[in-house]
Every structure is written in C-alpha cells, then in structure tokens.
Amino acid sequence: MGLLTNRVERTDIRPGDHIYTYRAVFAYSHHGIFVGGSKVVHFTRVETSDHSDDEVIALPSSCPTFPDCGFRQPKSGVVLTCLDCFLQNGSLYSFEYGVTPSVFFAKVRGGTCTTAASDPPETVIHRAMYLLQNGFGNYDVFQNNCEDFALYCKTGLLTVDSLGVGRSGQASSVIGAPLAALLSSPLKLLMPSPVGVATVTAGMYCMSRYATDIGVRTDVIKVAVEDLAVNLGWPGSRAEVGAENELSIEQIAQ
C-alpha cells in the first residue's frame, strides 16, 4: 500500500482485515471484514421489491467456492460470502488504521483510511461473526452503511448523534465536497486566481473529512457488540439464534 492506492494482493490480507472494492467504475466502494478461509462478512441493504438502490448486493444462487456463500439471517443485511463473490471481479483494497493526520490528508478520497486504531484481529472477527448472527440494524447510506459496519467491527466505536453523519469516510466525502464548494464560493470575490479558490476549496474539503473521522470525533463511544441491540434499539435483532441458523467460527475457517 502507498499514498496513491491501497490496492493489495490476496496473499497480503489477514483474518480481521478491513477490505474493500470499488463498484460502478469507481463510483463507490463496498466494504467488509475478511474473516479467513477466503470468506468475508459484510453489510448490505436487504433486497425487497420496493428498493433498487446501488448498494443492494445480488448474492449468488450457487457459488463454486463454498456452499455457505450468501449465508445471512432472515431480514438481516449482514452476509457471509466468499472473497470472489465479494469482489465481483473488482480489485482488492485494504483499509488503513492508525494513520497520521498527514497521511489522512494525503488520501484525497474518503473511505480509505482512518486515524483511529484497530482492535486485535480476534476481537474484530468476534464482532463480525456476532453481527452475522444478530444483524446490524437497518441500512442507511449516510448513517449506517457497509463502511460503518466494517469500522465498527475494527474499532467498536459508534456515533452518539443518530441525526448526524455516520462513521463512514465515504459518506463524509459526499457531504464534504459540496459543503467545501459552498463555503469557499464567497472567496471568489476576494481571490482573482482560480487556483487560489481551488486550493481553499480543497483545503476545506480535507478539513471536513478530517473533522468527521472517528479517530478525532468527540461524539463516538465504545460499545460492546453484545450491547448493540439493547443500547441502540435496533429492530430485528436476534440475540438468541436457533441452532439451525447458526454458523460457527470453526465452519468459517474451513
């Protein structure tokens, strides 16, 4: 990995890593947690007849890699797939944790890194597997998306303000770019050079991204995965799952 790209090879990733791939010609990225055994736990919008959004993942009806590909609990957006089905012929990227502010600013595109530190791999995998069995609430493109899911699995951090932007750097970039352009527009009257205006706009964009990063925000708290449904009141949580619907970590590692 470097400043220009987080692209990695399959041999570079380890269980507990936060990985992602781009969809729709780099229009957006899809994130998940690699849990080993060429398998990924990730969060998607539950497909219904009322939705046709870009984050609905078409799960394979028959996967040549392993028979449990596409496993999910009823009405849950958390799904287990093989790495091939997760990537959907896209390239593999690794999300970076614990980066310095200078590196964070150098990553122009959001949704690629955070200044927050990652928890140990075994803790990350435990959260992902627990949420696979119990769900992660309702999908929301700005407040509770696939990147939010992966960030929570890696850090255990959740935002306190449910009305604000979520933890996703990708969502923060979508909001930050127009905001930066809007805030910098009055400066056009003071700056004769278009280069100066562009520089200020870019600076405001980077600052808006940094201000919403979970590593520097003050409205985030550490929440145990077992307490998510109780504390947040998420609908459809399955605290107790029937044995016939359970998938053990031992099965994942196979």
Q: What's the pLDDT score for residue 143?
A: 84
Q: What's the pLDDT score for residue 253?
A: 54
> Taking Cα atoms as reference points, which of 13, 30, 39, 6 lies closest to residue 147?
30
Going residue by residue through the chain (254 aa), what tens digit of pLDDT does each one get?
666 789 999 999 999 999 999 998 888 999 999 999 999 999 999 865 454 444 545 555 578 878 889 999 998 999 999 999 999 999 999 999 999 999 998 887 888 999 999 999 999 999 999 999 999 999 988 889 999 999 999 999 988 765 544 556 565 555 444 543 444 445 445 555 665 545 555 556 677 788 889 999 888 999 999 998 666 555 545 544 444 455 555 555 55
Catalytically annotated residues: 30, 42, 146
Q: Could you tell me what percentage of the chain is helix, strand and coil, using 3-state DSSP and rounding each to the nearest 5?
A: 35, 15, 50
Q: Measured in whole angstroms, how far is the alpha carbon of residue 103 from the centre of its chain?
A: 19
Q: List CB contacts of 134: < 8 A, sequence separation 6 or more.
A: 73, 76, 228, 229, 237, 238, 239, 241
Q: What's the pLDDT score for residue 94?
A: 98
Question: Is the Cβ–Cβ distance between 128 and 19 less than 8 Å?
Answer: no
Question: Is the Cβ–Cβ distance between 251 and 129 less than 8 Å?
Answer: no
Q: If you write DSSP's letter for every residue of 50-103 in order, what string do you get?
A: T---TT-----SS-SS-TTTTEE-TT--EEEEEHHHHHTTPPPEE-B-S--HHH
> Taking Cα atoms as reference points, which of 94, 59, 61, 62 lies closest to residue 80?
59
> Taking Cα atoms as reference points, which of 210, 183, 211 lies closest to residue 197?
183
Distance CA 122, CA 162 (A): 28
Q: What's the pLDDT score for residue 185?
A: 46
Distance CA 136, CA 76 (A): 7
Which residue type sits at 191?
A: M
Q: What's the pLDDT score for residue 20?
A: 98
Please provide the distance, in angstroms rounded to a whole number, between the alpha carbons at the two ends of the chain. 28
pTM listed for this prediction: 0.78
> Taking Cα atoms as reference points, which of 146, 127, 109 lies closest to residue 20?
146
Distance CA 215, CA 99 (A): 10
